[in-house]
Amino acid sequence: MPQSFTLPPLPYADDALAPVISAKTIGFHYGKHHKTYVETLNKLVAGTEFEGQPLEDIIRSTAGKNEQVQIFNNAAQHWNHIFYWQCLRAKGGGKPKGELAHLIEQTYGGYAKFKAELADTAIKQFGSGWAWLVMDKGSLKVIKTGNADNPIARNIRPLLTIDVWEHAYYLDYQNRRNDHVDAVIDKLLNWEFAAENFSNAGVSGGFMPAMAR
């Protein structure tokens, strides 16, 4: 029988990101929201042409197709969250290093300007969605996507993301999305993970993070 999708373990304890993201938020976000995407996706693909297919293939095959929007939403949200959990780490944040830092300097004229654009993009995403740092045709860009949409649906390489769905921050910050975004950038972003994605940007194949392998 085709293997079902599973909820991979977090790369840290539920309370590891506190106080920026509390254990209570992780409990709801990972333990309920992400878990539900996985369970729903398995039900939706059972007995269909997508059963047994890699997650990225399902996302690309269903993107933009109204009749398959439920499968796309749950597949993409599963992928987005697998990626997102690795974009965070305890005692993270600060400035990136190495080649990625150099490209940020070249592209944005300094880390401060880059940080301002990333934060502004995340804060101004209307409604639910994501802010991403990506490589697109050799260029470093900050983009946003609404709801479940993500860069791999467009064959763009994601390096890092910030989740701005309300369930990512509302228990800790209520309507203060800006405070959540600033705290994540300053204290939690996993630049080592972003650098690994950047170093693999020229490698052919999928974008699936190791957490889901």
Sequence ranges of the domains in the chain: 23-86, 98-202
Q: pTM here?
A: 0.93
As a whole number of angstroms, the distance between CA 117 and CA 122 comes to: 9
Number of neighbours of residue 18 by Cβ within 10 angstroms: 15
Cis status of the peptide bond prior to 19, with omega within 30 of 0: yes
Cα 201 from Cα 39, distance rounded (Å): 31
Average model confidence (pLDDT) across the chain: 93
The string of pLDDT tens digits covering residues 39-92 is 999 999 999 999 999 999 999 999 999 999 999 999 999 999 999 999 999 999
Distance CA(165)–CA(128), nearest Å, equals: 4
pLDDT of 135 > 70? The answer is yes
pLDDT category at 201 given cuts 50, 70, 90 is confident
Q: Which residue has the higher pLDDT, 43 or 205?
A: 43
pLDDT digits (tens, 9 = 90+) for 97-128: 999 999 999 999 999 999 999 999 999 999 99
Q: Is the pLDDT of residue 210 over 70?
A: no
* b/e 91-119 (16+ beta carbons within 10 angstroms → b): ebbeebeeebbebbeeebeeeeebbebbb
Q: Quick check: 146 and 128 in contact, CB under 8 A?
A: yes
Burial annotation 166-182 (CB, 10 A radius, 16+ → b, else e) = eebbbbbbeeebeebbb
> How many other CB atoms sit within 10 Å of the CB of residue 141?
16
Task: Indicate the CATH number for domain 98-202.
Answer: 3.55.40.20
Superfamily of domain 23-86: Fe,Mn superoxide dismutase (SOD) domain (1.10.287.990)
For residues 28-63, b (16+ Cβ closer than 10 Å) or e, as one string?
Answer: ebbeeebeebbebbbebbeeeebeeeebbebbbbbb
Confidence band for 200, pLDDT divided at 50, 70 and 90: confident
